[in-house]
Amino acid sequence: MPLSLYNTLSRRKEAFKPADPSRVTMYVCGPTVYGYTHIGNARPAVVFDVLFRMLRDRYPLVVYARNITDVDDKINAAATRDNVSIDVIAKKFADIWHEDIGALNVLPPSIEPHATDHIPQMLRMIEDLIVRGHAYAAEGHVLFNVPSYPRYGALSGRNRDDMIAGARVEVAPYKKDPADFVLWKPSTPGLPGWDSPWGRGRPGWHIECSAMIDAHLGETIDIHGGGHDLIFPHHENELAQSTCAHGGTPFVGIWMHNGFLTMNREKMSKSVGNIISSREALRSTPGEALRWAILSAHYRQPLDWSDDTTTQAKRTLDRLYGTLDQAADIEESDEEPPEAFTVALEDDLNTPAAMAEISAIARALNTATETAEKARLKGQLLAAGALLGVLQQKPSDWFAAAPKAKLVDVSEVERLIAARTQARAEKNFSEADRFRAALDNLGVVIEDRAEGTKWRMKE
Contacts with Zn ion by CB under 5 A lie at: 29, 209
Query: Measured from the CB atom, is 44 or 286 closer to ligand AMP?
Result: 44
Q: Minimum Å distance from CB 288 to Zn ion?
A: 28
For residue 269, the partner it binds in Zn ion, ligand AMP, none, with Cβ less than 5 to 8 A by kind, is ligand AMP
For residue 209, the partner it binds in ligand AMP, Zn ion, none, with Cβ less than 5 to 8 A by kind, is Zn ion
Are residues 279 and 407 in contact, defined by beta-carbon separation less than 8 angstroms? yes
Q: Minimum Å distance from CB 268 to ligand AMP?
A: 4
Buried b (16+ CB within 10 A) or exposed e, 219-228: ebbbbbbbbe
Q: Give which of 150, 157, 31, 163 is closest to 100, Cα–Cα.
A: 31
> Which residues on adjacent β-strands are paired with residue 7?
12
Q: Minimum Å distance from CB 30 to Zn ion?
A: 8
**Taking CA 267 as the corner, what is the angle to CA 262 and CA 272, rounded to the nearest 5 degrees?**
125
**Taking CA 291 as the corner, what is the angle to CA 99 and CA 394, rounded to the nearest 5 degrees?**
85
For residue 134, the partner it binds in ligand AMP, Zn ion, none, with Cβ less than 5 to 8 A by kind, is none
For residue 227, the partner it binds in Zn ion, ligand AMP, none, with Cβ less than 5 to 8 A by kind, is ligand AMP
**Footprint on residues 17-56 left by ligand AMP (CB under 6 A):** 29, 31-32, 40-41, 43-44
For residue 41, the partner it binds in ligand AMP, Zn ion, none, with Cβ less than 5 to 8 A by kind, is ligand AMP
**Footprint on residues 227-266 left by ligand AMP (CB under 6 A):** 227, 229-230, 258, 260-261
Query: Measured from the CB atom, is 123 or 212 closer to Zn ion?
Result: 212
Q: Minimum Å distance from CB 48 to Zn ion?
A: 13
Are residues 101 and 42 in contact, defined by beta-carbon separation less than 8 angstroms? yes
**Footprint on residues 255-314 left by ligand AMP (CB under 6 A):** 258, 260-261, 267-269
Pairwise CA distance, residues 271 & 174, whole Å:
29
Query: Measured from the CB atom, is 27 or 251 closer to ligand AMP?
Result: 27
Q: Minimum Å distance from CB 301 to ligand AMP?
A: 11
Longest dimension (CA), the chain: 78
Amino acid identity of residue 408, one-letter, is V
Q: Is 28 left (phi over 0), alpha (psi -120 to 50) or beta?
A: beta
C-alpha distances in Å from residue 395, one per residue of 318, 325, 399: 9, 5, 6
User: What string marks each residue from 108 to 147 as x (binds ligand AMP by CB under 6 A) or -?
Assistant: ----------------------------------------
Q: Minimum Å distance from CB 107 to ligand AMP?
A: 17
Are residues 40 and 267 in contact, defined by beta-carbon separation less than 8 angstroms? yes
User: What string marks each residue from 192 to 231 as x (binds ligand AMP by CB under 6 A) or -?
Assistant: ----------------------------------xx-xx-
Residues 6+ apart with CB under 8 A from 25: 18, 62, 63, 64, 65, 217, 218, 221, 222, 223
Q: Give which of 315, 237, 301, 230 is closest to 269, Cα–Cα.
A: 230
Q: Minimum Å distance from CB 66 to Zn ion?
A: 10
